[in-house]
Amino acid sequence: MLKQRLQQKLLQKLSPQQIQMIKLLEIPAMQLEQRIKAEIEENPALEEGAVEEDSLRNEQQDDDDFSSDPNDKDKEEFTLEDYIDEDEYPSYKLNAQNYSKDDKRDEIPFSVGLSFHDYLESQLGLRSLDERQRMLALYILGNIDDDGYLRRRLENIVDDVAFTLDIKTDEPELIEILRIIQEMDPPGIGARNLQECLILQISAKDMDSPDVILAQRILKDFFEEFTRKHYDKIIARLNIGDNQLKGALDEILKLNPKPGSSYTDPQNKGYGHIIPDFILENNEGDLELSLNAKNVPDLKISRTYNEMLHSYQVNKGNNSKSQKEALNFVKQKLDSAKWFIDAIKQRQNTLFVTMNAIINYQREYFLTGDETKLKPMILKDIADVTGLDVSTISRVANSKYIQTNFGIISLKFFFSEGMQTESGEEVSTREIKKILQNCIDAEDKRHPVTDDKLAEILQEKGYHIARRTIAKYREQLNIPVARMRKEL
């Protein structure tokens, strides 16, 4: 049953300026430069360069306060007649905008380097293969992943080849083709599991070396014991000494478990490069913070567009329909440029205030670089100091880095939870992880310390932490269990 009724609601909506500010606050320094350049390309009223004093003469005036002599119109660089066409409609009204905001405009990068699979196919041309073998080899190469492994089962590839290439084959024939591929560079390519990958690599080494021969036998016959680090069983079964086993293990540890990763594309050398958003200098105990604006251009309002708007305002009473449309267009672009400049200024100010609050909160750490000096700190702590919202602090901390005397550090690193010690002092979990890391680094690798023992050590230091919590912190530090840390 349909009903009509009046309902009053109180809703909060973000203005376009607020949305723009939020998006600018999230992006790091590297993307900010690209975002500014994109805005300059889209908005002709926005220019790159330092702001001139005379260009600010009308910044704080309302649109109705513009005053100019109509007789000086001919002296301007751009007049109304130069801006619009002689036709009734300006040219920008005739441009078709047949694109949606959801349409993707992906740019296709041009690369002169060979991809990993192109590198493998180029080696295939050096083999003496008939057309059938070549087609099967190319299909197998297409199933090799970026790590260099053939993850798909050969029995499934038999069916795939029958459907896609209309070639009837069997597993023995595909194994022969796979053996040819496994002879390619880098060694270990085309392996179906880790054991096969390591065996292929060790077989490509000098087989006159006793360590290499022993390493090959361990990988073939005692791979499970090797992965579980049951070295005593290997020594007993092979009747060898500790030094012999150590030499063989050294050869195995030189192998690459992901042979495909050894191929480096020359076009991707700069991948993962970090540009810090903040720079902190320690000047004899005085911490000096600055924003990294090296690659961020200065922005200003186009003087030409400002003068154009003045010209339109002078002739406001005599403007035709086309002139009014041109006036609205120019004013819209000028407003958009002012909003963007204000958003950039507000972004920089918010970043500086937030980072300055973090430095004051963690001053002891920034003076020494000692992680044990880090105090427990959550987003709300900085929000209370700065008077900003927690979500704003979160956006500032996301994907931002600071350059210090002891390295480039992510802002998220400084935020951690806290716990109390025996004496009632509140310490950061970051400090506990650092102590845990130091304990594991100092352990006897022949007899690594278990999680239970680590819990006892920390309790002796005044940190009452359960074994499960120790295991959680150890996993967060990417440290394996005691059995997997065992070494000879």
**Burial, 255: exposed, middle or buried (Cβ in 10 Å; 0-12, 13-18, 19+)?**
buried
**Interhelix angle 231-238/242-253, nearest 10 degrees:** 120
Q: How far apart are CA 23 and CA 30, in angstroms?
A: 14
**162: which 2 tokens?**
């029958």
Mean pLDDT (10-residue bins), the chain, 488 residues: 76 66 78 82 77 50 44 43 40 40 45 71 85 89 89 90 88 91 89 92 87 91 88 89 88 88 52 77 87 75 76 65 76 83 86 91 88 84 90 86 88 77 66 83 82 84 81 84 76
Q: State the CB neighbour count (10 A cutoff) for residue 196.
A: 17
* 278-283 sheet: strands from edge to edge: 286-291, 278-283, 401-404, 407-410
Q: Which residue has the tokens 């002296």?
A: 75
CA–CA separation, 264 and 256 (whole Å)? 14
Q: Residue 236: CB partners within 8 Å, gap ≥ 6?
A: none
pTM above 0.85, yes or no: no
Q: What is the pLDDT of residue 483?
A: 75
pLDDT at 446: 78
d(CA 120, CA 401): 38
Asked if 46 contacts 39 with a C-beta cutoff of 8 angstroms, the reply is: yes
Distance CA 414, CA 359 (A): 10
Domains of the chain: 17-51+272-415 (no CATH), 116-182 (no CATH), 194-255 (no CATH), 417-488 (1.10.10.60)
Both tokens assigned to 355: 């980072």
Instruction: Please give the pLDDT value at position 454.
Output: 86
Q: Smallest Cα–Cα separation from 161: which of 180, 134, 135?
A: 135
d(CA 439, CA 457): 8
H/E segment holding residue 393? helix 390-397
Q: Are strands 401-404 and 278-283 parallel, antiparallel or unpaired?
A: parallel
| pLDDT reported for residue 434 | 82
Q: Are strands 46-48 and 299-301 parallel, antiparallel or unpaired?
A: antiparallel
* Among the listed residues 349, 379, 380, 377, the one whose alpha carbon sits nearest the alpha carbon of residue 361: 377
Complete DSSP assignment for 117-138: HHHHHHHHTTS---HHHHHHHH
Contact (CB, 8 A) for 393 and 382:
yes
DSSP string across 78-117: S-HHHHS-SSSS-GGGGS-----TT----------SPPHH
Cis peptide before 186 (omega within 30 of 0): yes
pLDDT at 200: 92
Q: Give the alpha-carbon dihedral of 208, 214, 220, 224, to 10 degrees.
A: -160
Between vectors from CA 440 to CA 370 and to CA 414, what angle results, nearest 5°? 30
Of the candidates 147, 174, 177, 172, the one whose C-alpha atom is nearest the C-alpha of residue 160 is 174
The C-alpha angle with vertex 31 and arms to 30 and 32, in degrees rounded to 5, equals 95
